[in-house]
Structure 1
Amino acid sequence: MKAVQVYLLLYVFLMTNVLVNTFFGGITDKLRWIFKSQESCDSDWISFNATGLQADLKGKLFGQHIASDIILKAVNGFMSNDNSEKPLVLSLHGLSGTGKSFVTKLIAENIYKEGMGSRFVHLFISSLHFPHSSQIDTYKSQLQQWIKGKVTDCGRSMFIFDEVDKMHPGLIDSIKPYLDYYNNVDGVSYRKAIFIFLNNDGTQRITETALNFWREGRDREEIEFKDLETSLSTSAFTNKQSGFLHSSLIEQSMIDYFIPFLPLEYTHVVQCVMAQMKAIGLKPDQNEAYKLARDLQYFPKFERVFSVSGCKTVTNRLSYIFPHHFVFQDSSI
């Protein structure tokens, strides 16, 4: 009888041990998976791919030789420098649809494993996040606290401000201390952060330069950064409503690079269409691409040199032409 009891106790012990290990072991594995999959501020989730960015700029961004060259050098130089004296601050200028938002996406995808979906990438849209000038003081406080909190969480954070030309100058000035040459501000270092401003300021000068080259029969590839740099950083900001015009960011040279995005021509729109066809799973059709590109609006009225909307409407037009084959992919151009 005692032998039976001993065997029974041994059986219960073994089965209990198996159940405990199975249950708690499973929980442990799940917890490991959860913590492993939760994005963190380390090299597993944040690692700059210089080769990837170079390939993306070359193969996915069309008609922007100046912007591609500057962005690659600027981001590569900054990410390779462990002792940067200030955050990287880029100001992207050009018409809608020329690739400003798309470039920020490419940069994010080659730094953060989660790309634009990373919790360390923060997008602010002026008309959405700061719509009321009467609440500027509230916006200032909220924006400062947000940036401070996010950089405290991860020094390698990225902040993107869209429609910055519509922002109140006081709101732009409120983040100036974070862009300056300080070791830290209130105990927080911002030297590894990236700030990108997207706006339409300077587009007239950019367009005039590109159009002059075209009228003179010169290749747009001959346009150099020096042909636009001065006008972008000074005289181009003639819009009295522009927050940039009255902000201290320009006056005190907080912007590292003013980057022009040239207006896109017909051939560039065709390239966009072909690339987007491939991205949504369609076999690229050059005839369809030519047709779609021709249907867009161009300016000046008689010369029809540059696309009014650039590549911005390509995705929507493809979804209309091929509704049954379309799988939405955000080109964000």
Structure 2
Amino acid sequence: MSDRDSSTSASHTEGEVEGEMDEEMDTELDGEGDKDEAQRESAVPGLSSFSSSLRAVVRIKQKYQAMKKRRQEMALLALGADGNPDGAPSKTSPKIFTFDGLTPFSSTSSVPQKKKRRRRRGVLFPNSGGRRAPPKQEQSRAKYCLYLLFAIVFVQVYNAIENLDDHVLKYDLEGLEKTLRREVFGQQGAVDGLLSHLKDYLSTYVHNKPLVVSLHGPSGVGKSHLGRLLAGHFRSVVGETLVLQYYVLHHCPQEADALRCARDLAMLISETVERAEEEEKIPLFIFDEAEHMHDEILDALLQLVATKQSNEYLNAVYLFLSNLGHAHITKHMLHNSSSISMTMTSSGRQSNLVKELTPILRNTLEKLHPLWSEADILPLALLEKSHVMECFLEEMTREGFYPDHTNIERLAGEIEYHPEVGGHEYSQTGCKQVVAKVNLL
């Protein structure tokens, strides 16, 4: 066998094992083959030529194996961790990744890998013309029932408020307030307290107890005058039969008749409250000169006021007028007038007086009879000289006299006064002598 045949057979054997080679490998092999063939033709066949051919074959094989190994490394780097492709030789040992053997013109480094972005699926709408709109959610029908319930509650509350206003308007408390402020002098604090109690009580028709108010003050401060104004107003709004003015010295002057008077008074009150219940009105009971009431009458009134009676007995107003505790009122005003600020208004002084005297009078009156513990105490203050002059002006105008200021001041100077304290000059008899002095003109 010649050298050419041996090289040809060797090259064919390698081709069967490894497969087809690249164009680069074929070119190199062809070049080496042509070179060996020219050398063999020119040289004399011998042992030296055979050894040179064998060395060429060995060099070619070593070069081929090196190129093959380099291509396998490049293929492994390109695949990465995805595994071996079909037909590739399996790895027998782990390899450490390095950048050795990579060329700057390799296919893996030249082409940048783009990161695939995951596309979000859009909301699909039906193919209908016009503007796309999301589907509507069905609303619960119970919501409409809730709205209806709110409307019903609102109407009920509104009607209740309107009914309260109508009930107050029935008694014309605004007109009563104007009358009291116009005709009652020097008792602004007591008038404000009385109107406050009446407004709170008359704003509704259902009560758990009757309203009991007790007015206390010295002689001539306007207790009886205030009672007459209240009686006249309530007679005009609720009727004559639902207003009772009870004068103890007139209806029951003898103490021996106290028990009979108590029974008669209880029967009269029962008839009045029953009539008021039928007419859906609140009656008014005024007891003037309550300091002369006998214990039997006070006990009968206490049973009507404090005991849990039927509904008609709870809807009633009791007004007591007396001079009980007048000594405490006079002493308090004379001793504390100097400490009262002169910059304070008249209404402010009256309100302060009511707050200070109420607990003092309550402690004194509760010792006299338990009835006063059920009442709201309102003290009436002493009248100053300016208040007495207003009483003269009112009485002279009523009697038809010309209201001469000089004449009024002269008449007011004839009234007896307490010693001046703190710039205040209080009358000892109030306006009690005003009517008598005007009649002498």
TM-score in same-fold range (> 0.5): yes
Residues 63, 226 of structure 1: alpha-carbon distance in 2 compared, 3 angstrom cutoff: same
CA displacement 1:191-225 (0-9 Å, x = unmatched): 22211111111111111221123233634643332
The residue aligned with 2:390 is 271
Measure the CA separation in 2 of the matches of 1:47 and 1:291: 44
Instruction: Give the 3-state SS of the residue equivalent to 2:314 in structure 1.
Output: coil
| Partner AA of 2:187 in structure 1 | Q
Residue 427 of structure 2 is aligned to residue 307 of structure 1 = yes
More helix by share: 2
The residue aligned with 2:273 is 151
Residues 172, 258 of structure 1: alpha-carbon distance in 2 compared, 3 angstrom cutoff: same
The residue aligned with 1:39 is none
Residue 218 of structure 2 is aligned to residue 118 of structure 1 = no
- What TM-score results when the alignment is normalised by the length of structure 2? 0.55
Residues 283, 76 of structure 1: alpha-carbon distance in 2 compared, 3 angstrom cutoff: farther
| Partner AA of 2:254 in structure 1 | H
Larger relative contact order, structure 1 or 2 (CA cutoff 8 Å, min sep 6):
1
CA displacement 1:248-288 (0-9 Å, x = unmatched): 213xx321x10101111111000111122233333422222
CA contact 1:50–1:110 (8 Å) conserved in 2: no
CA contact 1:89–1:254 (8 Å) conserved in 2: yes
Residue 250 of structure 2 is aligned to residue 131 of structure 1 = no
Q: Spell out the pairing of 1:207-218 with structure 2 (5 A cutoff).
A: 207-216=330-339, 218=341
CA contact 2:393–2:403 (8 Å) conserved in 1: yes
CA contact 1:47–1:113 (8 Å) conserved in 2: no
Measure the CA separation in 2 of the matches of 1:102 and 1:109: 11
Measure the CA separation in 1 of the matches of 2:191 and 2:383: 14
Measure the CA separation in 2 of the matches of 1:50 and 1:202: 29
Aligned residues: 263
Q: CA deviation at 1:91?
A: 0.5
The residue aligned with 2:304 is 178
- What's the C-alpha RMSD, in Å, of the aligned pairs? 2.7
Q: Identify unmatched segments of 5+ residues in structure 1.
A: 1-42, 238-243, 322-333
Residue 176 of structure 2 is aligned to residue 53 of structure 1 = yes
The residue aligned with 2:436 is 316
| Partner AA of 2:359 in structure 1 | T
Residues 191, 281 of structure 1: alpha-carbon distance in 2 compared, 3 angstrom cutoff: farther
Residues 66, 217 of structure 1: alpha-carbon distance in 2 compared, 3 angstrom cutoff: closer
| Partner AA of 2:256 in structure 1 | S
CA displacement 1:158-203 (0-9 Å, x = unmatched): 211122122122320112222136351xxx6122221111111111
Residue 360 of structure 2 is aligned to residue 231 of structure 1 = yes
Residue 317 of structure 2 is aligned to residue 194 of structure 1 = yes
Measure the CA separation in 1 of the matches of 2:233 and 2:308: 27
The residue aligned with 1:100 is 223
CA contact 1:136–1:168 (8 Å) conserved in 2: yes
Q: CA deviation at 1:98?
A: 0.6
2:210 to 74, 84, 87: 87
The residue aligned with 1:37 is none
The residue aligned with 2:90 is none
CA contact 1:85–1:183 (8 Å) conserved in 2: no
Q: CA deviation at 1:65?
A: 2.1
CA contact 1:47–1:110 (8 Å) conserved in 2: no
Deviates more, 1:215-224 or 1:61-70: 215-224
Q: CA deviation at 1:114?
A: 7.4
Instruction: Give the 3-state SS of the residue equivalent to 2:440 in structure 1.
Output: helix
Q: CA deviation at 1:78?
A: 1.4
The residue aligned with 1:33 is none
Residue 292 of structure 2 is aligned to residue 169 of structure 1 = no
- What TM-score results when the alignment is normalised by the length of structure 1? 0.71
Measure the CA separation in 1 of the matches of 2:250 and 2:211: 25
Residues 109, 128 of structure 1: alpha-carbon distance in 2 compared, 3 angstrom cutoff: closer
CA contact 1:170–1:247 (8 Å) conserved in 2: no
Measure the CA separation in 2 of the matches of 1:217 and 1:198: 27
Deviates more, 1:306-315 or 1:286-295: 306-315
Residue 170 of structure 2 is aligned to residue 77 of structure 1 = no
Residue 406 of structure 2 is aligned to residue 284 of structure 1 = no
Q: CA deviation at 1:90?
A: 0.9
Measure the CA separation in 1 of the matches of 2:295 and 2:434: 34
The residue aligned with 1:296 is 415
Percentage of pairs with the same residue: 28
Measure the CA separation in 1 of the matches of 2:248 and 2:233: 25
CA contact 2:171–2:237 (8 Å) conserved in 1: no
The residue aligned with 2:188 is 65
Residues 85, 270 of structure 1: alpha-carbon distance in 2 compared, 3 angstrom cutoff: same
Instruction: Give the 3-state SS of the residue equivalent to 2:195 in structure 1.
Output: helix
Instruction: Give the 3-state SS of the residue equivalent to 1:123 in structure 2.
Output: strand
Deviates more, 1:157-166 or 1:195-204: 157-166
Q: Spell out the pairing of 1:229-268 with structure 2 (5 A cutoff).
A: 229-235=358-364, 237=365, 245-250=367-372, 253-255=373-375, 257-268=376-387
Instruction: Give the 3-state SS of the residue equivalent to 1:299 in structure 2.
Output: coil
Q: For the pair shown, which has the larger CA radius of gyration, 1 or 2?
A: 2
CA contact 1:85–1:181 (8 Å) conserved in 2: no
CA contact 2:247–2:289 (8 Å) conserved in 1: yes
Measure the CA separation in 1 of the matches of 2:354 and 2:200: 18
Instruction: Give the 3-state SS of the residue equivalent to 2:250 in structure 1.
Output: helix
